[in-house]
Structure 1
Amino acid sequence: MTQELTPRLTETPPGETAHTPGSATRETLEDYTLRFAPRHYRRWSTGVVAVSALGGIAYLADFAIGANIGISYGTTNALWGIAVFAVVIFLTGFPVAYYAARYNLDLDLITRGSGFGYYGSVVSNVIFATFTFIFFALEGSIMAQGLELGLGVPLWAGYAVSTLIIFPLVVYGMKVLSKLQLWTTPLWLVLMVLPFAYLLISHPESVGSFFAYQGEDGAGTPNIGSVMLAAGVCLSLIAQIAEQIDYLRFMPARTPENSGRWWRAMIIAGPGWVVFGAIKQVIGLFLAVYIIANVADGAAVANQPVHQFLEIYRDIMPAPVALGLAVVLVVISQVKINVTNAYSGSLAWTNSFTRVTKRYPGRLVFVGVNLLVALVLMEANMFDFLNTILGFYANCGMAWIVTVASDITFNKYLLKLSPKQPEFRRGMLHAVNPVGFGSMLVAAGVSIVCFFGGLGAGLQPFSPLVAIALALVLPPVLALATKGRWYLRRTDDGVALPMLDDFGNPSDVMLDCHVCGQAYERPDMCACEAHDAFVCSLCLSTDARAEHVLPAQTAMEAAPGR
Structure 2
Amino acid sequence: MMTKTATGAGDVGNAARETLEDYTLRFAPRSYRKWSTGVVAVSALGGIAYLADFSIGANIGISYGTTNALWGILVFAVVIFATGFPLAFYAARYNLDLDLITRGSGFGYYGSVVTNVIFATFTFIFFALEGSIMAQGLELGLHIPLWLGYAVSTLIIFPLVVYGMSLLSKLQVWTTPLWLVLMVLPFAYLLITQPDSVGSFFAYQGQNGQGAPNLGSVMLAAGVCLSLIAQIAEQIDYLRFMPPRTPENSRRWWTAMILAGPGWVIFGAIKQVIGLFLAVYIIANVAEGATVANQPVHQFLEIYQDIMPGWAALTLAVVLVVISQIKINVTNAYSGSLAWTNSYTRVTKHYPGRLVFLGVNLAIALILMEANMFDFLNTILGFYANCGMAWVVVVASDIAINKYLLKISPKKPEFRRGMLYAINPVGFGSMVIAAGVSIVVFFGGLGAAVQPFSPLVAIGLGVVLPPIIALATRGKYYLRRDDDGIAEPMYDEHGNPSGEVLDCHVCRQEFERPDMVACHTHDAHVCSLCLSTDKVGDHVLPARSG
Distance 2:172 2:384 in 1: 27
Task: Summarize deviations over 1:386-423 as a string: whole Å, max 9, x none.
Answer: 00000000000000000000000000001111010000
Is 1:331 equivalent to 2:347 in the alignment? Answer: no
Helix, strand or coil at the partner of 2:404? helix
- The 5 Å alignment of 1:161-176 reads 161-176=152-167
Whether 2:20 is the aligned partner of 1:48: answer no
Within the alignment, does 1:394 sit opposite 2:385 as a pair?
A: yes
Cα distance in 1 between the residues matched to 2:60 and 2:483: 51
1:240-274 Cα offsets, whole Å, 9 max, x none, are: 00000000000000001100000000000000000
Matched, 1:117 2:108: yes
1:112 CA drift (Å): 0.0
The whole-number CA distance in structure 2 between the counterparts of 1:435 and 1:28 is 31
Q: Distance in 2 between matches of 1:66 and 1:381?
A: 19
In the TM superposition, what are the counterparts of 1:494-505 in structure 2 within 5 Å?
Answer: 494-505=485-496
| Distance in 1 separating the partners of 2:276 and 2:235 | 25
| Residue in structure 1 matched with residue 543 of structure 2 by the alignment | 552
Q: Alignment partner for residue 351 of structure 1, among 339, 342, 349?
A: 342
Deviations 1:446-494 (A, max 9, x none): 0000000001100000000000000000000000000001000000000
Q: 1:21-40 counterparts in 2 under 5 A?
A: 21-27=12-18, 30-40=21-31
Equivalent residue for 2:148, pick from 149, 153, 157? 157
**2:206 aligned partner, one-letter code:** G
Partner of residue 177 from structure 1, selected from 168, 174, 181:
168
CA displacement at 1:24 relative to structure 2? 1.5
Q: Equivalents in 1 of 2:388, 2:447: separation in Å?
A: 22
Q: After the TM superposition, which residues 478-493 of structure 1 pair with which residues of structure 2 at under 5 Å, given as runs? A: 478-493=469-484
1:441 and 1:86 mapped to 2: Cα distance? 24
The residue aligned with 2:5 is none
Does the CA-based 8 Å contact 1:170-1:342 persist in structure 2? yes
Partner AA of 1:115 in structure 2: G
Residue 4 of structure 2 corresponds to which residue in structure 1? none
Q: Which of 135, 146, 155 is residue 144 of structure 1 equivalent to?
A: 135
The DSSP-based 3-state class of the residue aligned with 1:511 is strand
Q: Which residue of 1 aligns with 2:203?
A: 212
Task: Tell me how far apart the structure 1 counterparts of residues 233 and 376 of structure 2 sit (CA, whole Å).
Answer: 24
**1:197 is the counterpart of 2:188:** yes
**Rounded Cα–Cα distance in structure 1 between residues aligned with 2:484 and 2:305:** 64
Measured in 1, the distance between the counterparts of 2:121 and 2:129 equals 12
Q: Amino acid of the residue matched to residue 139 of structure 2?
A: E
Task: Confirm or deny that 1:223 pairs with 2:214.
Answer: yes
Shift of 1:28: 6.1
Name the residue aligned to 1:14.
none
Kindly provide the amino acid, as one letter, of the partner of residue 175 in structure 1: S
Counterpart of 1:489 in 2: which secondary structure? coil
Q: Distance in 2 between matches of 1:365 and 1:56?
A: 22
Cα separation, partners in 2 of 1:152 and 1:221, compared to 1, 3 Å: same
Matched, 1:76 2:29: no
The structural deviation recorded for 1:20 is: 7.0
Distance apart, 1:22 and its partner CA = 4.7
Please tell me whether the aligned partners of residues 11 and 352 of structure 2 are also in contact (alpha carbons under 8 angstroms): no
Question: Which one of the candidate residues 498, 510, 513 is aligned to 1:507?
Answer: 498
Q: Does 1:105 align with 2:96?
A: yes
**Residue identity opposite 2:355 in structure 1:** L
Alignment check: 8 A CA contact 1:23 1:516 kept: no
Residue 415 of structure 2 corresponds to residue 424 of structure 1: yes
Conserved 8 A contact 1:24-1:30: no
**Residue equivalent to 1:7:** none
CA distance in 2, matches of 1:69, 1:29: 43
Stretches of structure 2 that go unaligned for 5 or more consecutive residues are 1-8
Q: How does 1:466-481 map to 2 (within 5 A)?
A: 466-481=457-472
Contact 1:55-1:337 within 8 A present in 2 as well = yes
The answer to whether 1:368 aligns with 2:359 is yes
Distance 1:315 1:29 in 2: 50
- In the alignment, the residues of structure 2 paired with residue 33 and residue 143 of structure 1 have an alpha-carbon distance, to the nearest angstrom, of 29
Q: Distance in 2 between matches of 1:188 and 1:249?
A: 25
Residue number in structure 1 paired with 2:401: 410
Counterpart of 1:270 in structure 2 is 261
AA matched with 1:145 = Q
The CA distance in 2 between the partners of 1:43 and 1:481, in whole Å, is 44
Is the 2:21–2:165 contact (alpha carbons within 8 Å) kept by the matching residues of 1?
A: no
CA distance in 1 between partners of 2:499 and 2:493 (Å): 11
* Matched-pair contact (CA < 8 Å) for 1:22–1:359: no
Preserved CA contact (<8 Å) 1:95 1:405: yes
1:30 and 1:363 in contact (8 A); partners too: no
8 Å CA contact 1:29–1:171 kept in 2: the answer is no
1:362 Cα deviation after fit: 1.0
Equivalent residue pairs, number? 538
Measured at CA, do residues 19 and 546 of structure 1 come closer, stay the same or move farther in structure 2, by a change above 3 Å? closer
Maintained 8 Å contact 1:210/1:290: yes
Partner of 1:305: 296
Unaligned residue ranges in structure 1 (runs of 5+): 1-17, 558-562
Q: For residues 44-96 of structure 1, what are the alpha-carbon distances to aligned partners after superposition, in whole Å with 9 as ceiling and x for unaligned?
A: 00000000000000000000000000000000000000000000000000000
Q: 2:231 aligns with which of 236, 240, 243?
A: 240
Secondary structure of 1:485's match? coil
Residue 442 of structure 2 corresponds to: 451
Calculate the aligned-residue CA RMSD, in Å: 1.0
Shift of 1:26: 2.5
- Which of 51, 54, 60 lines up with 1:60 in the alignment? 51
Separation in 1, partners of 2:173, 2:435:
37
TM-score norm. by structure 1 comes to 0.95
Q: What is the alpha-carbon distance in structure 1 between the residues aligned to residue 15 and residue 246 of structure 2?
A: 31
Which stretches of structure 1, 4 residues or more, deviate above 4 A after TM superposition? Answer: 27-30
Query: Is contact 2:11-2:350 (8 Å) kept?
Result: no
TM-score (norm 2): 0.98
Q: What is the aligned-residue identity percentage?
A: 83
8 A contact 1:118–1:430 mirrored in 2: yes
Letter in 2 for 1:193: V
Q: In structure 1, what is the equivalent of residue 78 of structure 2? A: 87
- Secondary structure of 2:409's aligned partner: coil
Native 8 Å contact 1:443 1:467 kept in 2: yes
Q: What secondary structure is seen at the aligned counterpart in 2 of 1:547?
A: coil
Q: Secondary structure at the match of 1:350?
A: helix
Q: Which residue matches 2:530?
A: 539
8 Å contact 1:511–1:521 — kept in the other structure?
A: yes
Task: Give distance in 2, aligned partners of 1:29 and 1:499.
Answer: 21
Q: 1:143·1:334 contact (CA, 8 Å) conserved in 2?
A: yes
